[in-house]
Amino acid sequence: MERYDTPSTADPFDRSTHLFTTLVADLTGPAGAGLHHDELEELLDLRGREILRQLLSDHLELRARREEDAARTRPHPPRGPDGVVRTRIEYGHRRLLATLFGTVIVRRCAWRAPGTGNLHPADVALSLPRLRHSHQLIRLAAIEATRCSFDAATAAIGRRCGPVIGKRQVEQAVVASSGDIDAFYRAQIPLPCTASTVLVMSVDGKGIVMRPDALRPATRKAAAARGTGRLRTRLASGEKPARKRMATLAVVYDAEPAVRRPHDVIALPGGRHGNRTLRPGPTAKNKWLSGSVVDDPATVISRAFDQAEARDLGHHRDWVVLVDGAVHQLELIQQEAARRGAAVNVVIDLVHVLEYVWSAAWCFHDSSDPTVEDWVAVQALAILAGHAGRVAETITNQADNAGLKGDRRRGADACVRYLTGKAEFLRYDQALAAGWPIATGVIEGACRYLIADRLDISGARWGLDGAEAVLSLRAVHSNGDFDAYWRYHVAREHERLYQPASQGEYTARA
């Protein structure tokens, strides 16, 4: 009888070759000749995946045979990361590996010593994951799960790879695959820009529906105080079915200055006439998006300033911070800028200002009045020309002359308070002359893309880890850094699992 550790001399790719030749025979035979093109695609998809799975399996078997051959002729046993030399060897240890092509068996040698764990040198050579699922399968899960629900992602993976991973494993894979994002961006060196290029930052927030255990303490306390509701069969007036946790988003980007005039932004009363070409506004480039539902706004803002300083360490460029006027955000931004000694130019988003102007307009015009748009255009052009204080006076005088009081005057008073209270951040004349952006469209779009399109889907209630992972990975995708990040993540995973000296001098090669 042949010894159990005697290497086989058979061709390890016999099974792959047999599957391929069988498929070719089926395609060239009478049965294949009668297939429609869609049936051919289905056949090749199923049988082709099986051939690829068998090729991978056969290659792993070849490496196992070569590892055994090398182990038999090894002059010295390997030393593990614990410093213990493993002098005993066992062949044929197996583990499962779920891959893009299906699940395969990895056979390898185990080096052993009394009182200590086994050492598998082939695990290092193959950089096998800690759990069953391969890095490429987890990568696919991270891509699919950031695009659609976990159920849909699991189904999409199953259609492509077969039953290799379940929904719970997809969720765990997404969380695990996002763990190196902060370290990845700290290691990046941004592209250099000229001193004239404007450095723009913007911050915003958006709520995400969370499970009760994932709410912040104050929100959880408020929800508990309200109770489960007064009615059993429906929601009472003003009662919400879930609570939200605020996620903070930040964007940093570069923009070449683009000088404009007020009427390049807002059309003159009566609309534009003639063929004069409008001057385009600045265009965002080299966008870096970041967001977190775990960290507080101060931490996210600090991270944005880190990115800004990485782009302009000496503070030689114009730093423009676009905000929507939220007092809390303004205070945090000014505190962070002061701490770093950075001179920032805070500009409130023009669109938010126009909302207040429209609120004032409805105090003086009926809903069907066609002149309301011209009235708003006049006030907006004055604000863009740097005369926000004058506009506030005009609205106040107009409200007094019209005898508006109470609710009829509320929109006008709110607009006046906003224009006077935020006057130092409404210097649009200076911003337009310097070629700076004056709207927060980039961060508004990020709120829609990063959160609303995925984390705000109907019926979703998030745990903290899952929401943070999906939000972070979507930001990496939006930055165009996913491929680079994944290479970094896989390298860090290898370092965490396998120290450079963990397998001694022994290396298994194909």
Query: What pLDDT score does 277 carry?
Result: 81
Q: Is residue 58 located within the same domain as residue 117?
A: yes
Residue 32 lies in a domain: no
Q: How many C-beta atoms lie closer than 10 Å to residue 366's C-beta?
A: 9
Q: Is residue 386 located within the same domain as residue 487?
A: no
Residue 332 lies in a domain: yes
Residue 29 lies in a domain: no
Out of 450, 465, 492, pick the residue that ends a domain.
450
Residue 442 lies in a domain: yes
Q: Is residue 353 located within the same domain as residue 249?
A: yes
Residue 276 lies in a domain: yes
Q: Is residue 441 located within the same domain as residue 311?
A: yes
Look at residue 85 and give its three-state secondary structure: strand
Query: What pLDDT score does 380 carry?
Result: 95
Q: Is residue 356 located within the same domain as residue 374?
A: yes
Residue 142's identity, in one-letter code, is A
Query: What pLDDT score does 258 carry?
Result: 95
Q: Is residue 119 located within the same domain as residue 74?
A: yes
Residue 381 lies in a domain: yes
Domain count, the chain: 2
C-alpha pair distances (Å), 326 with each of 87, 149, 159, 329, 376: 67, 32, 46, 5, 23
Q: Is residue 89 located within the same domain as residue 208?
A: no
Q: Is residue 203 located within the same domain as residue 349?
A: yes
Out of 429, 450, 471, pick the residue that ends a domain.
450
Tell me the residue ranges of DSSP E strands in 25-137.
88-99, 102-112
Give 324's contacts (C-beta < 8 A, 6+ positions apart): 204, 348, 349, 352, 440
Query: What pLDDT score does 191 carry?
Result: 85
Give the domain range for residue 80. 16-23+37-188+481-510
Query: What pLDDT score does 303 carry?
Result: 95
Q: What angle separates helix 410-421 from helix 388-401, to the nearest 10 degrees?
A: 160
Phi and psi, residue 107, nearest 5°: -105, 130
- Which of 437, 472, 479, 442 minimizes the C-alpha distance to 455? 472
Tell me the residue ranges of DSSP E strands in 149-258.
198-210, 243-255
Residue 181 lies in a domain: yes
Can you tell me the distance from the alpha carbon of 501 to that of 146, in angstroms, rounded to the nearest whole number?
Answer: 36
Q: Are 286 and 190 in contact (CB under 8 A)?
A: yes
Can you tell me the distance from the alpha carbon of 83 to that of 79, in angstroms, rounded to the nearest whole number?
Answer: 6
Q: Is residue 270 located within the same domain as residue 394?
A: yes
C-alpha pair distances (Å), 341 with each of 63, 186, 319: 58, 21, 12
- Which of 253, 197, 168 minimizes the C-alpha distance to 466? 168
Virtual torsion, Cα 171, 172, 173, 176, nearest 10 deg? 130
Query: What pLDDT score does 502 carry?
Result: 42
CA-based torsion, 77, 78, 80, 83: positive or negative: positive
Q: Is residue 388 located within the same domain as residue 494?
A: no
Q: Is residue 357 located within the same domain as residue 429?
A: yes
Structure tokens at 202: 């913007």
Can you tell me the distance from the alpha carbon of 198 to that of 267, in angstroms, rounded to the nearest whole number?
Answer: 26
Q: Is residue 166 located within the same domain as residue 198?
A: no
Query: What pLDDT score does 509 carry?
Result: 45
Residue 435 lies in a domain: yes
Residue-wise pLDDT tens for the chain (510 aa)?
344 444 455 788 999 999 999 999 999 998 888 899 999 999 999 999 999 999 999 999 999 999 888 888 766 788 887 888 888 888 989 999 999 999 999 999 999 988 888 889 899 999 999 999 999 999 999 999 999 999 999 999 999 999 999 999 999 999 999 999 999 999 988 888 999 999 999 999 999 998 888 787 777 666 666 665 556 566 555 555 558 899 999 999 999 999 999 999 998 887 666 677 888 999 999 999 999 999 999 999 999 999 999 999 999 999 999 998 889 999 999 999 999 999 999 999 999 999 999 999 999 999 888 899 999 999 999 999 999 999 999 999 999 999 999 999 999 999 999 999 999 999 999 999 999 999 998 999 988 989 988 998 888 889 999 999 999 999 999 999 999 999 999 999 999 998 754 444 444 444
HEC states along 22-55? HHHHHHHCHHHHCCCHHHHHHHHHHHHHHHHHHH
In a 13 Å sphere around the CA of 131, the CA atoms on its Cβ side amount to 12
The model carries a pTM of 0.85
- Which of 198, 323, 343, 322 minimizes the C-alpha distance to 258? 198
Q: What angle do CA 42, 45, 47 make, to 5 degrees?
A: 105
| Exposure b/e, 386-404, CB count within 10 A at least 16 = b | bbbeebbebbbeebeeeeb
Query: What pLDDT score does 75 carry?
Result: 63
Q: Are 318 and 198 in contact (CB under 8 A)?
A: yes
